[in-house]
Chain A
């Protein structure tokens, strides 16, 4: 076979040669493209450059990526041995359940993640899949951080991120759910702001007074809520002394009459009193800022959009209460270290760095979650970045109840959401929807207790039989 050199030397490139060399070139290019990279991740740029361990962290899109930019810049000076790579994974679709699914898929797809942000709702799944390693040994070897964990972080927040007594994450931030209300709308409607002691009757009375829904451009809804998502719904369940799951999150509690009572109260807001919109497709914040919505339930992270919009005519109050002790739902997130990390020490350095006071202050000033560090939550600036009653965010911690977060949260949460939708649109009664949801959740909880995290092995006929209703 003639060589390219010979061919070119003859200055005659036949059609056959052209095809042949094209085929060689294309195949070579394809193989080169498919070949794994040969450059080591810790490659240095010269003799004097220190070797850097690449640490890839993944945060949620709940907080804007700009929030982490100062930390990344500080890392250049404070962590010279680390090449910090910041990534974000979408949380807006499916919440923490969807986020944890995506993390598992990323890892299964071969993506190297070293430090992972995850909240309690997804911690069970990631621990069950052995994605995270316990941090206890890191804390034991680092007395300074251990002292912070023990003394500057509330035990409730610390324990939320423990599994079987092992500290799986370094707590970074947390949230509860409080009532945001538009003070200008209340003033215009001549309604007194809610008090700490308000109950569901007071709430309904307020809704009826501030709502003005005529089907025109000036419509104003009294309240809108997350029609899906365990966190948003738990804010209501807990204040009626109930929960969709039992206290150990191992069994369905959906047939508790108080669950039905809670859902009926919320469905009535939409279907009977017509003071709340169907949550499907409803953009709460835009309407709240525009004065078309008087109240909504949210955590501190919702302050961020008000800061961005320079919206100031709002304040906060606890969720209205119905029965049992006063409660607020709470959930903590934090940084965990992936078991697959190639640089555990560097990953620990980054975990500490992203959990420290500076990172917490960055989050506080951007209107993000509530910092777990008491020393930051008690700073004057925490109150500065929020409305007048912003102190209730941290004060509520003493009677906070953890959001139900079973290991199969990523399966249970979508089941509940699917059935809630049929209540909000009036297609099923609360009792029918709960019976159907309960049947599905019970099957999943049985599998969880049997050590199976998926629905293989359990017939859905059993589900239908248990439900006794059309699926």
Chain B
């Protein structure tokens, strides 16, 4: 009995010790875990959360970056309704976002389907690299090259047009053509990125489904309609969200290519925010305009998620 009691006691101590040790290990593990995410959390806070919070505060301030901020209540928000340029600039942004997103995704998908076809490996890699190359190059240098190409007088493209008897086009100097040029440039520069995304989606579709469909007598259009598009829909959904947000935030394209001109014809919202903040030093009003963009992007993304239930197939 004594032995049993002793064993029982020691067993009880051992169990308590095991629990205590387990508890200590658990605490240490949690501590280590938090410690591990601390750098990322700190970075996120310093570079993302804090500026967003600061922007919300700045909306109610007049701040010229050198003088101390001054509380002005709702003045900057009222200014949003009085700023007549803002409406035109938002309209420019809407047009740019719609056309850039549409053409980037269409062309990206077509290119992905093109390079996904059976062809010699060397040709395939060369094509993929060539199409992706604009994504790797800095936008500023690309825009400079396009500037030389598109200049109305003695620009390369107009020179070629004139050689075949056509009139030169005011690509960058006309308000209507400048937006076309900016969209063209963006599609040329960014569709390679979407091509890669769509290509990954296409390659994830099991070949066996196509084989089964072929055996059942499905033609190419039917395979596309009933296999490729439904199974590609999660990829397309991701690509649409990424490209739409990216298009709404475009800055460097227009900054280098047109500077927002002629007049305000290609001035997009992010460029306008930059100019209000860093050219006019109206940080409060710049924060107010940023807030509108923030809310619009959140709204659009939520709308896309809601609509995705109708056309995105995850199975």
Whether a CB of chain A sits under 8 angstroms from the CB of B36 is yes
Q: Are B173 and A459 in contact (CB under 8 A)?
A: no
A417 to B72, CA, bound (A): 31
Binary A-proximity of B16-57 (CB < 8 A = 1, otherwise 0): 000000000100110011011011001100100000000000
**Chain A residue with the shortest CB-CB distance to B267:** A418
Are A30 and B168 in contact (CB-based, < 8 A)?
no
A1, B28: Cβ atoms closer than 8 Å: yes
CB of B191 closer than 8 Å to a CB of A: no
Tell whether, in the assembled complex, residue A27 and residue B150 are in contact, meaning their CB atoms are under 8 Å apart: no
A287 to B148, CA, bound (A): 12
The reply to whether A107 and B66 form a contact with Cβ atoms under 8 Å apart is yes
A-contacting residues, B42-96, CB 8 Å: 42-43, 46, 62, 64-66, 72, 75-76, 79, 82-85, 88
Within 8 A of A (CB), among B270-298: 275, 278-282, 284-285
Task: Label chain A's interface by main secondary structure.
Answer: helix
> Roughly how many angstroms separate A132 CA and B111 CA in the complex, as a whole number?
56
The interface residues of chain B lying within 8 Å CB-to-CB of A97 are: 279
Are B154 and A16 within 8 A (Cβ)?
no
Contact between chains at A461 and B84 (CB < 8 Å): yes
Q: Does B116 contact A (CB under 8 A)?
A: no
**17 extra A-B contacts, CB within 8 A, seeds A280-B172, A287-B154, A421-B261:** A19-B32, A20-B28, A24-B35, A98-B279, A108-B65, A215-B168, A219-B154, A278-B170, A281-B150, A281-B151, A281-B155, A281-B172, A410-B279, A427-B175, A453-B64, A456-B72, A460-B82
Query: In the complex, what residues of A have CB within 8 A of residue B36's CB?
Result: 19, 22-23, 26
Q: Does A411 contact B (CB under 8 A)?
A: yes
| 8 interchain pairs, CB-CB under 8 A | A16-B32, A26-B36, A34-B46, A129-B66, A130-B66, A281-B155, A421-B261, A427-B174
- Given that A27-B39, A418-B264, A456-B72 are contacting pairs, would A105 and B28 also be in contact in the complex, using a CB cutoff of 8 Å? no
Q: Which residues of B contact A30 (CB under 8 A)?
A: 38-39, 42-43
Interface of B toward A, CB cutoff 8 Å: 25, 28-29, 32-33, 35-36, 38-39, 42-43, 46, 62, 64-66, 72, 75-76, 79, 82-85, 88, 147-148, 150-155, 159, 162-163, 168, 170, 172-175, 259, 261-264, 275, 278-282, 284-285
Contact of A277 among B28, B79, B150, B153 (CB under 8 A): B153
Query: Nearest B residue to A411 by beta-carbon distance?
Result: B280
Contact: A455 with B282, CB < 8 Å? yes
B interface, over-half SS: helix
Given A281-B150, A454-B281, A455-B282, decide whether A421 and B262 contact each other with a Cβ distance below 8 A: yes
With a cutoff of 8 Å between Cβ atoms, the chain A residues found around residue B76 in the complex are 456
- Interface contact A456-B175, CB-CB below 8 Å: no
A419 within 8 A of B: yes
> Within 8 Å CB of B150, what residues of A?
281
Q: Are A464 and B84 in contact (CB under 8 A)?
A: yes
Residues of chain A lying within 8 A (CB to CB) of residue B88: 471
Q: Given A26-B36, A30-B43, A418-B263, do A460 and B175 touch, yes or no (CB 8 Å)?
A: no
Task: A112 to B30: give the CA distance in the assembly, Å.
Answer: 43
Residue of A nearest to B67 (CB): A129
A280's contact among B83, B152, B162, by CB below 8 Å, is which? B152
Within 8 A of B (CB), among A367-387: none
Q: Is A101 at the interface (CB under 8 A from chain B)?
A: yes
Q: Which residue of B lies closest to A452 (CB)?
A: B62
Q: Is A344 an interface residue (CB 8 A)?
A: no
Interface residue? A424 (CB, 8 A): yes
A435–B147 alpha-carbon span in the complex (Å): 30
- Identify which of A425, A427, A456 contacts B284 (C-beta below 8 A): A456
Q: In the complex, what's the smallest C-beta–C-beta distance from A276 to chain B, in angstroms? A: 9
Of A20, A101, A422, which contacts B279 at CB under 8 A?
A101
Across-interface contacts of A292 in B (CB, < 8 A): 154
Closest 4 CB pairs of A and B: A277-B153, A23-B36, A108-B65, A23-B35
Partner of A23, one of B38, B153, B170, B172: B38
Given contacts A105-B65, A422-B263, A456-B79, contact A277 B72 (CB under 8 A): no
A277 touches B261 (CB 8 A): no
A24-44 vs B, Cβ < 8 Å mask (1 yes, 0 no): 101101100010000000000
Tell me the bound Cα distance from A94 to B79 in angstroms. 26
Smallest Cβ-Cβ distance to B84: which chain A residue = A471
Q: Is the CB of B43 within 8 A of A424?
A: no
Contact (A104, B153) CB under 8 Å given A460-B82, A461-B84: no
Q: Are B64 and A280 in contact (CB under 8 A)?
A: no
Which chain B positions have C-beta within 8 A of A281? Answer: 147-148, 150-152, 155, 172-173
Measured between alpha carbons, how far is A416 from B92 in the docked complex, in Å?
21
Task: Specify the chain A residue showing the minimal Cβ separation from B38.
Answer: A27
A282, B151: Cβ atoms closer than 8 Å: yes
Nearest-CB residue, chain A, relative to B65: A108
A417 CA / B42 CA spacing, docked (Å):
43
Shortest beta-carbon distance from A365 to chain B in Å: 30
Residue of B nearest to A109 (CB): B65
B279 contact set on A, CB distance < 8 A: 94, 97-98, 101, 410-411, 414
Of B33, B82, B85, B152, the contact of A459 (CB 8 Å cutoff): B82
A396 to chain B, nearest CB (A): 30
Nearest B residue to A97 via CB reads B279
Whether A422 touches B284, Cβ cut-off 8 Å, given contacts A217-B159, A414-B279, is no
A387 to chain B minimum Cβ distance, whole angstroms, is: 25
Complex Cα gap A427–B85 (Å):
18
Looking across the interface, which residue of chain B has its beta carbon closest to that of A417?
B261
A16:B28 contact, CB within 8 angstroms: yes
Cα A26 to Cα B37 with chains together (Å): 10
Flag whether A221 is at the interface (Cβ < 8 A). Answer: yes
A143 interfacial contact with B, CB 8 Å: no
A312 to chain B, nearest CB (A): 23
Question: Cβ of A131: which chain B residues have Cβ within 8 Å of it?
Answer: 66
Whole-angstrom distance between the alpha carbons of A376 and B85 in the complex?
49
Give the residue of B168, B175, B275, B282 whose beta carbon is less than 8 angstroms from that of A454.
B282
Closest partner residue, chain B, to A129 (CB atom): B66
Per the bound structure, the CA–CA distance linking A384 and B237 in Å amounts to: 67
Q: CB-nearest residue of chain A relative to B36?
A: A23
B173 touches A278 (CB 8 A): yes
Q: How far, in whole Å, are A421 and B33 apart by their CA atoms in the complex?
A: 58
Are B154 and A456 in contact, CB atoms less than 8 angstroms apart? no
Question: B64 contacts which chain A residues (CB < 8 A)?
Answer: 129, 453-454
Instruction: Pick from B33, B152, B280 the residue with the most CB of A within 10 Å.
Output: B280
Q: Taking CB as reference atom, which chain A residue is nearest B166?
A: A215
Q: How far is the CA of A107 from the CA of B278 in the complex (A)?
A: 12
Q: Are B153 and A282 in contact (CB under 8 A)?
A: yes
With A and B bound together, what is the CA distance between A410 and B64 in angstroms? Answer: 14
Which of B32, B168, B263, B284 meets A421, CB within 8 Å? B263
A463 at the interface (CB under 8 A from B): yes
Pick the most buried of B75, B88, B153, B175: most chain A CB atoms within 10 A of its CB.
B153
